[in-house]
Chain A
Amino acid sequence: MKRHGVTGVVAVTAALALAACNANPSGTASAGPTGAVTKGGTLTILTASTNLNLDPAKSQNLATTTLGLVLRRLTTWDIQPGKPATVVPDLATTTGTSSDGGKTWTYQLKDGLKYADGTPITAQDVKYGVERSFAPELSGGLGYHKGLLVGGDAYKGPYTGGDLASIATPDSRTIVFHLNKSYGDWPWIVSTPAFAPVPKAKDDPQKYGNDPVASGPYQVDVNQQGSVLRLKRNPYWDAKTDSVRTAGPDQIVFQLGQDTTVQAQRLIADSGKDKDAFGAGFVPPAQLVQIEQNPTAKSRLVTSDSGALEFLALNTTRGALSDLRVRQAVEYAVDKKSVQVAAGGPIGGDLATTLITPGIAGRVDYDLYPAGPDGDVAKAKQLLAASGHATGLKLTLLVQDDDLNLAYAQAVQQGLQRAGITVTIKSEDEDAWVADATGDKGDYDLTIADWQPDFPSANGNIEPLFGSSEIGGGGFNLSRYSQSQADGLIQQATGETDPAKAQALWAQADKRIMQDAPVVPLLYTKNSFLHGSDVQNFFVASFPAYPNYLKVSLTK
């Protein structure tokens, strides 16, 4: 899962394709110009990153951004505006067939799949790709599979540890995974980068990330660290085997190390080749204001429906906060409207009440603490009085020291002050904050964090933030919330292989946890992106709140 979102999503549905060729449909904030996919041209992506490592073992890319253009995985995401994200087959024929109560998952590769060098993609290559993700030399990527595969805990990768017996490849098109527990979200797990095929003969762990053997519609043409990454077409990619990539542009050029302000200015100016470009980074607040005054640029601004969950975690193990009534009082006292203002107004995010974020399948909208946008101070005072903390309650709020988090903290501080709770803000840089908030000690009363899952399942919203196993030791259960009933629901939902039943269980867990008020959901944050006037099919759906690189094309 992710504290800051990554990815993005677009989708060109048949309906949108038919609606075709015109600017933003009014009222659809999340959609850029849409139309049938035109082939050709060079799409430019402006990014502040200076190094794009394309090694699947080291990557934390989501399925719909850079790596997805070059590498396919067993499954991938189908993401369309206004619809929840779904998992769909990519290299595999299905999203997975489970047996043994969800502990064994089997996949068949599609027929005729080839790499950019014309050699066939095999199940052994997928197994090898997964195995190398265990190697310490290649650490840094998404590794949800590491703790789930039998023997994964002790395995050190193929370079020194041989092969991993829990991944079987009975033939060149079949791959079987043996898990140490039932895991219903395994189809999502195999959409992470480590499940991209890597031919063993081509593996050079130190250099593979510069130019991996492509299985997607593009392959690396030029990769100059700090300057440019240019992708060209992979002649062996077959559109008939790929339901999510449209592969419009002939070339895709990533201009690296672009200052975000200059990026936005270039896209506002929209001249020359910048008409064929979009910015991978959020539009900075100052440029958002500038764009608001510029109707032409405004028509090219795309804002997501929702992004990460911004929340206030209440440390349930600390003093007064161990009393449910005090936590409930905080739920009522927080002024979410002020937090939204701190985020830049409605363009910065919508007020949140649930743990599962919009765009995740199975989400049920509810509000257990209906206090209105600016809180219910009277109700909060009443609860505090009942708990014996009518006056004199003092809490420390641990927060990252960037402008936005400090603004959120001040909004929370002022909101709680109205109910007589004195909040002292303790700010730290990001690394120190991560160490303190996720460490074993938990020396804080409150903290503010944001969270977006790495794969769009309710599991990603709930387990990392509220499972007992995620307290301390680098885990993100910042409320240090431990409740057997909630843990039971999490365990049950995790093991459920029927998606509909699992979703119902996650929705149940969402409400159950909020009954204990371990966090105050503040906002479903929104991200804004800008694109040039010749860029087409540029959308940002509910999840993830990033543009979908796989669908973007050019008008000519």
Chain B
Amino acid sequence: MRTARFIAGRLLSMVLVLLIVSALTYLVFFLLPSDPAQLSCGKPCTPQNLAIARSFMGYDEPVWRQYLAFLEGIVRGRSYGTGPAAIHCAAPCFGYSFQLAAPVTQLILSRIPVTFSIAIGAAVLWLLLGVAAGVSSAVKRGTLVDRAAMALAVGGVSAPAYLVGLLAILLFGFTLNMVPVNGYVALTENPVQWAWHLVLPWCVLAVMSAAVYARLTRAQMLDVLGEDYIRTARAKGLREWRIVGRHGLRNVLIPVVTLFGLDLGQLLGGAVITERVFSMQGLGALLIDAVGNLDLPLIVGITLFSAFLIILANAAVDLLYGAIDPRATA
């Protein structure tokens, strides 16, 4: 009963947050001094052509009415135009991209495999690298290992993704010819090529994000290693790896998991720069194009989807707390 109420509460707050996000995105978009209908107007864009395009896209309505039509489309689906050439967007319709001539839902679904492939692989890699480097640094505090790991971490945190990506392409792709420089192969098409094309983006993202995790893990681990119960464990004669791995790491993981949940949620919404550099057409690339083309339905759709993923990741983190630290559910 308690769990059911918890889940119902989370769902309700999730819907509320998504409503606020969509309303704000609509509002911000309409405050911009641009006219999205102009891009679909054709050339020459006469006032008459512009009015036709605006009316067909529904941009001639007041913003609140457009927003309500958008919400209604999610529940009941939507049609644009009349007659045999009318565009039908089935529920749940998150709008229709006139630039790409496809429903937003379909566009988002088509890009998910690319972004999820990049994000999940990179996340696993950076979590392993970051936590391992952080733990080693803490255990070997003050040694060369510690300093080298932290120096690398500072470098990773400071480096811009675009630069690291391009340098990695130049070095490993063009100079050493070790990996493909860009492009994406679907997992279902060829799993080996899928992984092979993703190695470089995974590594670039992992090196940069692992840095944050290394620093966080190190700081947490140092705190934990100074706790009384660790001293007790040592006094009992437990081996060091057991103390660090079983008693230390468990406590360190709580903030790491929190951060990981948020980072992963954000990345699943689109690794904008990485996708661009490696010419992979995921959600990030779709969003950038949508912003450039003033493609309002697509911007709102992707923003909502990204917000949904972050909220979902947060909920997953909450559930994980209980598994890692039973005190959290007590």
Contacts and interface: CB of A to CB of B under 8 A. Distances in A.
Interface string B40-78: 111111111110110110000000000000000000000
A336 B47 CA distance: 35
Interface centre among B48, B101, B181 (most CB of A within 10 A): B101
B142 interface: no
Contacts of B3: none
Nearest to A158: B85
A140 B110 contact: no
Interface string A252-284: 000111110110011001010000000000000
Interface of B: 32-35, 38-50, 52-53, 55-56, 80-87, 98-102, 110-111, 166, 169-170, 174, 177, 181-184, 276-281, 285-286, 289, 294
Contacts of B177: 271
Interface string A42-64: 00000000110101001010000
Contacts of B33: 428, 431-432, 435-436
A366 interface: no
A209 B52 contact: no
8 contacts: A1-B44, A51-B99, A137-B87, A159-B85, A225-B110, A265-B170, A431-B38, A435-B34
A434 B276 CA distance: 27
A499 interface: no
Contacts of B56: 136-137, 139
Given A136-B53, A206-B85, A428-B33, 17 more contacts: A50-B289, A53-B100, A58-B101, A139-B40, A143-B43, A147-B44, A160-B83, A160-B85, A226-B110, A255-B279, A259-B182, A262-B278, A266-B182, A431-B33, A431-B35, A454-B43, A474-B44
Interface pairs A-B: 4 shortest CB-CB: A226-B281, A431-B34, A159-B85, A136-B56
Contacts of B289: 50
A136 B55 contact: yes
A227 interface: yes
Interface in A470-506: 473-475
Contacts of B101: 53, 55, 58, 206, 209
A40 interface: no
Contacts of B280: 257
A137 B43 contact: no
Interface string A193-230: 00000000000011001000000000000000111000
A141 interface: yes
A133 to B, nearest CB: 8
A266 B180 CA distance: 11
Contact of A142 (B43, B166, B182, B278): B43
Interface string A371-390: 00000000000000000000
A141 B82 CA distance: 20
A259 B276 contact: yes
A258 B279 contact: yes
A153 interface: yes
Contact of B286 (A143, A160, A226): A226
Given A225-B102, A262-B277, A474 B46 contact: yes
Interface centre among B49, B99, B100 (most CB of A within 10 A): B49
A475 B45 CA distance: 8
A265 B169 contact: yes
Contact of B42 (A141, A209, A269, A431): A141
A431 B182 contact: no
Given A53-B101, A157-B85, A147 B46 contact: yes
Contact of A431 (B83, B100, B181, B294): B294
A271 B173 CA distance: 11
Interface in A265-309: 265-266, 269, 271
B279 A262 contact: yes
Contacts of B41: 139-140, 474
Contact of B44 (A143, A153, A206, A227): A143
A265 B174 contact: yes
A324 interface: no
Contacts of A428: 33
A259 B173 CA distance: 15
A51 B100 contact: yes
Contacts of A226: 110-111, 281, 285-286
A135 B49 CA distance: 10
Given A159-B83, A431-B294, A259 B44 contact: no
B41 to A, nearest CB: 6
A331 B99 CA distance: 40
Contacts of B183: 255
Contacts of A473: 46-47
Interface in A45-89: 50-51, 53, 55, 58, 60
Interface centre among B42, B87, B110, B285 (most CB of A within 10 A): B42
